[in-house]
Structure 1
């Protein structure tokens, strides 16, 4: 799932992994508990970025499960600084998914990373449901890695929070 509504990033500086959910996002995370608990997950995994952890923690607590963070579930390491025109930069990246910005990863590299994370889940949690907290671009590329269609428009339109079901 994509994290709930977060505090916006600060423009012009690298994004902060400790950027939290907003007050609305904390309410959204609590409101998701009954829906997420109904899946009866065997594990709760999350990006190590705070906003993703905060989104799945209430469900994990209700289930009596720990939130386990995996670095490979992080958001896209785009190499771009948050800016007012971020959408045009992202659109260009989606148009050329093999390109990277500076030391950032390409969207193709993110798709590979997401696919490896899905494969690791299948090995570590065979025949089990796993609740995963992550980020919009990561989830879009994970859907592609799983054989589903996703593009810039669907990524851009993804709400916070958003729940997707991916099955083998």
Structure 2
């Protein structure tokens, strides 16, 4: 039996409008004007991967980041709910960085009804395996988010920590390979 390996190009969304403090994050939160321009500037880099599919988190900022490349490729952006950002259970606040840092120090813990970072890593691993199952031996663009991308890298066997996640540029591109049985 031959080894099936899918190249997954994780694309962290471009600069987005900041969430409102004290309110749940908005799935429709868009890119800023700079973010939209940066998404256009990504097109040559993303097209060069010659992807056969473009998947995305359903959250607007992720979709907006990969849409220009999808249009250039003549592909549809297909939203997968499991590619969405970490469901932290935390409301956006002035001290969000400290709360996230503590979460990275204790990835098994969750806030209220939120998802633990370990849970996100498992979700990201399953998502990578599903991409490989649906798109075997292909290259797939995946529009997503900083914490999701960091935990997906961990699920794929790479190292990522809070400093890596906190300083990740908007946008950012990471490449991983996955196989149908390759993730937890």
TM category, shorter: over 0.9
- Residue from 73, 76, 79 that aligns with 1:66: 76
Q: State the partner residue of 1:107.
A: 117
2-structure distance, mates of 1:117, 1:141: 11
1:68 aligns to what SS in structure 2?
strand
Q: In angstroms, what is the RMSD of aligned CA positions? A: 0.5
Offset at residue 167 of structure 1 (A): 2.0
2-structure distance, mates of 1:107, 1:58: 30
Which structure has more RCO (C-alpha within 8 Å, separation ≥ 6)? 2
Across the two proteins, how many residue pairs are aligned to each other?
Answer: 168
Q: State the partner residue of 1:5.
A: 15
Q: In the TM superposition, what whole-angstrom CA distance separates every residue of 1:65-103 from its partner, at most 9, and x where no partner exists?
A: 000000000000000000011000000000000000000
Q: TM-score, normalised by structure 1?
A: 0.99
> Does residue 158 of the first structure (1) align with residue 162 of the second (2)?
no
Q: State the partner residue of 2:182.
A: none
2-structure distance, mates of 1:84, 1:132: 30
2-structure distance, mates of 1:109, 1:47: 17
2-structure distance, mates of 1:163, 1:55: 11
2-structure distance, mates of 1:46, 1:123: 16
1-structure distance, mates of 2:148, 2:28: 18
Structure-to-structure mapping, 1:1-168, within 5 angstroms: 1-168=11-178
1:108 aligns to what SS in structure 2?
helix
Q: TM-score, normalised by structure 2?
A: 0.91
- Where does structure 1 differ by over 6 angstroms across 4 or more consecutive aligned residues? none
2:89 aligns to what SS in structure 1?
coil
